[in-house]
């Protein structure tokens, strides 16, 4: 990555122009993990085998498939069950009649939906780039890749482990679990079955299971030793909406809420903006979230770090390494990124002090290269 000097690391926006405070340690003292968000989705259409393989080749510790169900109960990787924005389904006249309007997590959504297609039918579609205006290079791959099943992703990881000699983790997310339960296509049972068939059901299997909902994680906690991660965003978990529970994600990230999460999960996955405090729009330091979560015994894996300038806060114009470095200094235990190569560059070698990383612009020969 880029220049050996990173002036943004010394920016007043980072830590109030004061000398950098000592960097916080991760919960376990282990180096933070780099999670390939939907694969290397900054370089290939998301949730394709090509994106996952590139993420692994770039050194990601884990790859993240979002999982939804087909009509015949097969888990496939899509960020949403709506196929409209990430496949060429609209160019298939044989499926025109399946265009529908559905209520998904309380919102009216139009499109074509995975649960209305068998796996064989989905395999006739091809992936397209979701945000071509931002990632025109990815759009060059439109039409080249199938929608992968979760089993195919696990097979890829196993093959890459043999090829590289590295241990590679898998970080699946169940999408719309209450909705899929309501139509008789529960996600959790086939998820655990696939992991067991792949030999990834034990506590040390390099698997995290994540969800924005809470009820399915609580149920999973009764049936698996695998660590679970409660995602945190804005608004409410949809299962709270269905149950009439007035609490919000803001309630879940209080010390009391984190203590409850710790009864069923090993970590939280918050929006990265929940980890910083701002004044006048600029980052001035950490919020209490990482410290509070660590006090509850929870790992912290924020989302999502991206390389394109359109996604950067004003604090870090065109310097994604500096942005990640700041968060590492706050003690996060890992992070989701669309650009695993950037993430690997930002993570220091084991034993290299993050205080030095944050305080000295001259040290950016970091690259904890795992490839």
Q: List beta partners, residue 269.
A: 231
| Residue 79 annotated among the catalytic residues of the structure | yes
Q: Do 367 and 95 touch, CB atoms closer than 8 A?
A: no
Q: What is the token pair recorded at 307?
A: 């390389």
Cβ–Cβ under 8 Å, residues 123 and 20: no
Q: Which of 205, 126, 132, 220 is nearest to 173 (CA)?
A: 220
Q: Tell me if residue 35 falls in helix, strand or coil.
A: strand
Distances in whole angstroms, Cα of residue 364 to Cα of each of 176, 353, 367? 40, 12, 8
Known catalytic membership, residue 37: yes
Looking at residue 275, what DSSP letter applies?
Answer: G
Of 47, 79, 294, 301, which one is the catalytic site residue? 79
Q: Tell me which residue of 123, 116, 32 sits closest to 81, measured CA to CA.
A: 116
268 prior amide bond cis, ω within 30: no
CA 67: distance to chain centroid?
A: 12
SS3 163: helix
Pair 92, 122: CB distance under 8 Å = no
Closest-CA residue to 100 (of 120, 115, 118): 115
Q: Please identify every residue annotated as catalytic.
A: 37, 79
């Amino acid at each position: 990555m880029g220049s050996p000097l990173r002036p943004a690391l010394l920016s007043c926006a980072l830590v109030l122009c004061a000398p950098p405070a000592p960097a916080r340690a991760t919960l376990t003292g282990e180096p933070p993990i780099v999670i390939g968000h939907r694969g290397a989705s900054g370089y290939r259409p998301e949730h394709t085998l090509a994106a996952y393989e590139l993420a692994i080749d770039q050194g990601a510790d884990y790859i993240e498939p979002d999982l939804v169900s087909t009509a015949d109960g097969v888990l496939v990787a899509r960020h949403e069950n709506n196929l409209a924005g990430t496949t060429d389904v609209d160019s298939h006249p044989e499926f025109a009649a399946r265009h529908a309007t559905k209520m998904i997590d309380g919102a009216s959504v139009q499109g074509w939906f995975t649960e209305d297609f068998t796996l064989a039918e989905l395999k006739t579609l091809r992936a397209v780039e979701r945000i071509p205006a931002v990632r025109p290079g990815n759009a060059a791959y439109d039409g080249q890749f199938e929608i992968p099943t979760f089993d195919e992703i696990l097979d890829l990881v196993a093959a890459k482990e043999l090829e590289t000699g590295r241990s590679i983790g898998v970080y699946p997310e169940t999408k719309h679990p209450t909705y899929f339960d309501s139509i008789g296509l529960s996600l959790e049972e086939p998820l655990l079955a696939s992991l067991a068939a792949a030999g990834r059901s034990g506590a040390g299997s390099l698997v995290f299971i994540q969800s924005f909902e809470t009820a399915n994680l609580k149920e999973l906690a009764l049936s698996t030793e695998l660590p679970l991660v409660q995602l945190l965003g804005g608004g409410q978990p949809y299962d709270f909406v269905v149950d009439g529970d007035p609490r919000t994600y803001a309630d879940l990230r209080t010390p009391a809420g984190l203590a409850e999460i710790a009864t069923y999960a090993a970590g939280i996955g918050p929006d990265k903006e929940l980890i910083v405090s701002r004044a006048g729009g600029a980052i001035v330091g950490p919020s209490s979230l990482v410290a509070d979560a660590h006090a509850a015994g929870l790992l912290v894996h924020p989302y999502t770090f991206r390389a394109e300038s359109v996604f950067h806060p004003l604090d870090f114009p065109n310097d994604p390494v500096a942005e990640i470095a700041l968060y590492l200094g706050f003690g996060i235990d890992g992070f989701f990124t669309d650009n695993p190569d950037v993430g690997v560059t930002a993570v220091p070698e084991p034993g290299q002090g993050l205080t030095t990383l944050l305080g000295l612009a001259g040290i950016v020969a970091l690259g904890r290269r795992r490839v």
